Amino acid sequence: MPVYPKGKSRWLVVIYHQGRRVDRIVKGKKSDAEAFEAKERVALEAGGIDSLRVVPTFSEFCLNEYKEHAELHQSAWNHSAKYTIATLVEHFGHLKLSRIAVLDLEFYKTKRAKEGKRASTINKEIRQFQSIISTARAMGISASKIKVKPIAEGRRRVVAWSKDEIAKLLKSASEHAPQLLPILVFLANTGCRRGEALALEWPMVDLERRLVRIEPNEEWKPKNNKPREIPIPDVLVPWLSGKREGRWVFPSRKGIRYAQWPKDALERVRDEAGITGGVHRLRHSYATFFLSKCPDICLLGQIMGPLQLAHHRTLHASVARPPVPRSQRGVVRLSGRCRRTEGGYPLAVENLVRRLVWRSIAEGRRKGQRR
């Protein structure tokens, strides 16, 4: 049977019809996948080759085919992906997958830029579009093969809140949104992402060992799909030692998990505190305070999960003086005991450069004389 395992409770069904390969992803048991394969094969044989030649429009494919595929492969489908796809459908929905050209995508990039969208947002939408096209081609649909260069993104400097600014934020939360205070205290003292905090369950909190276990499950997955453990500091123990009611550590007012981050409430609290930035800045602040006391980026990566080392080196530089690179130590020592020239460089360095230049010229003359 052309049924292959594709992860936990997922199966890849491969069907060859009229010399073409059709792939489908089925969730459930192997018997369910085999039944789906038999049903799909009968449908293809009944429809004949015309069923494979019919190319759906972009909106039809997203609603009928890609949604089920994305729900199995993307944990963020219910949050951000569906809004991104809705924007793409609004622009490309009437076009057939085989009729979309590179110029259509370039026009879309220009239009979104004129609307004031950031380059990172546009690139995210382009990656989502290419994922949809790649999925359609893998399913045997005749879709256009499009390659578009992403828009160049300038790397912004990572900014963190100070202890005084975090204190103002927590005070404002206690006055204007008390339901957000526990989760903000948790984020400030663990460096977790907001999605990890919203998906945190009580079995993941081990007060005896003072650890929080971030583990993937069927409903939610961390950014790299890998579990990790976060130490619980003393200041956070009282916030996690109360009566455990329900499944979620930080539920909404209805007692269920937040469908999405309460952005409006946080913005109100932030404005009342007189500071700027989003909730992710608490993660940057945790990294800053950690590196100021323990300058070990590898250990920080084990606690916080996947991170960009360049960003956290920048944060570390703002709170502690970084060591002088080995390549600069010689120049620093020379500048300390040698007088400088009019150009600002140590005299010993300029003399060394002159000697190297004259040596290369002399070697060139020798080679010319030998010839």
DSSP per residue, 184-231: HHHHHHH---HHHHHT-BGGGEETTTTEEEE---SS---TTS--EEEE
pLDDT surpassing 90 at residue 83: no
Mean predicted confidence (pLDDT) in 341-359: 52
Mean predicted confidence (pLDDT) in 19-26: 74
Would you state the structure tokens that stand for residue 226, as one six-digit string?
Answer: 């890998």
> What's the CA gap between 304 and 296, in Å, rounded?
12
**Shortest CA distance to 79 belongs to which of 278, 260, 250?**
260
> What's the CA gap between 286 and 233, in Å, rounded?
12
> What's the CA gap between 88 and 80, in Å, rounded?
13
Choice between 207 and 19, residue whose per-residue pLDDT is larger: 207
Instruction: Report the chain's mean pLDDT, rounded to a whole number.
Output: 78
Where do the domains of the chain lie, and which CATH numbers do they carry?
1-54 (no CATH), 56-154 (1.10.150), 163-319 (1.10.443.10), 326-370 (no CATH)
> What's the CA gap between 237 and 326, in Å, rounded?
43
The model's pLDDT over 220-275, given as tens digits with 9 standing for 90+, comes to 777 777 888 999 999 999 999 878 888 899 998 888 888 788 889 999 999 999 99
The model's pLDDT over 116-136, given as tens digits with 9 standing for 90+, comes to 888 888 998 998 898 888 888
> What's the CA gap between 91 and 89, in Å, rounded?
5
Q: Which residues contact 166 (CB under 8 A, 6 or more apart)?
A: 188, 282, 285
Q: Are 291 and 312 in contact (CB under 8 A)?
A: yes
Q: How far is CA 173 from the centre of its chain?
A: 27
Q: Are 100 and 58 in contact (CB under 8 A)?
A: yes
Q: What is the pTM of this model?
A: 0.60
